[in-house]
């Protein structure tokens, strides 16, 4: 599953939901610490998770569980309704990186996504999403990837990845 991340998203119909901003490693890519990245528009899991799971389910099968670290999520609902079924949501403070989302499905198994903070600018988000989904990219945790990008941005470098490889759905 891939699409292209555009600096300016196309206009959205007033009643249409905005596209999910998501990147994933290609199907045969070596799994590392991260399998891709998700750039939600808010910290509201109840409103953000249905679009994410709906985008992933055609390729991955039904998403059954999601786990997060509650550090950056003000409310962690126990269940989220998605297209006629319920996705169970759990939280684990020490076990899950605060900047990662863990997804479980019957068909694919477990996937770990970097959660790009909602307020991140488009250029930084593109760098982070490309780094998290690049099979040859750095083997960093979600928090380490964000810290490395912040440090390199402060020095004017940015994360050394090919931003054209990033994708969003």
Condensed to tens digits (0 to 9), the pLDDT of residues 67-108 reads 999 999 999 999 999 988 999 999 988 889 999 999 999 888
Structure tokens at 115: 């959660």
Percent of the chain residues topping a pLDDT of 90: 54
pLDDT in tens for each of the 169 residues of the chain?
Answer: 333 343 333 443 445 567 899 999 886 555 678 999 999 999 999 999 999 999 998 888 899 999 999 999 999 999 999 988 999 999 988 889 999 999 999 888 899 999 999 999 999 999 999 999 998 877 889 999 999 999 988 887 655 443 333 333 3
């Amino acid at each position: 599953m891939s699409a292209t991340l555009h600096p300016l998203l196309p206009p959205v119909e007033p009643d249409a939901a905005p596209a999910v901003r998501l990147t994933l490693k290609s199907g045969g890519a070596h799994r590392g610490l991260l399998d891709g990245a998700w750039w939600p528009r808010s910290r509201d899991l109840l409103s953000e998770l249905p679009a994410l799971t709906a985008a992933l389910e055609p390729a991955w099968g039904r998403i059954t569980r999601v786990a997060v670290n509650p550090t950056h999520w003000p409310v962690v609902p126990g269940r989220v309704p998605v297209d006629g079924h319920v996705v169970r949501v759990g939280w684990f403070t020490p076990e899950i990186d605060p900047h990662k989302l863990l997804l479980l499905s019957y068909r694919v198994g477990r996937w770990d996504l970097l959660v790009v903070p909602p307020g991140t600018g488009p250029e930084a988000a593109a760098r982070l999403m490309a780094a998290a989904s690049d099979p040859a990219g750095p083997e960093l945790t979600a928090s380490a990837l964000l810290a490395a990008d912040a440090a390199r941005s402060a020095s004017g470098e940015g994360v050394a990845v090919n931003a054209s490889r990033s994708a969003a759905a």
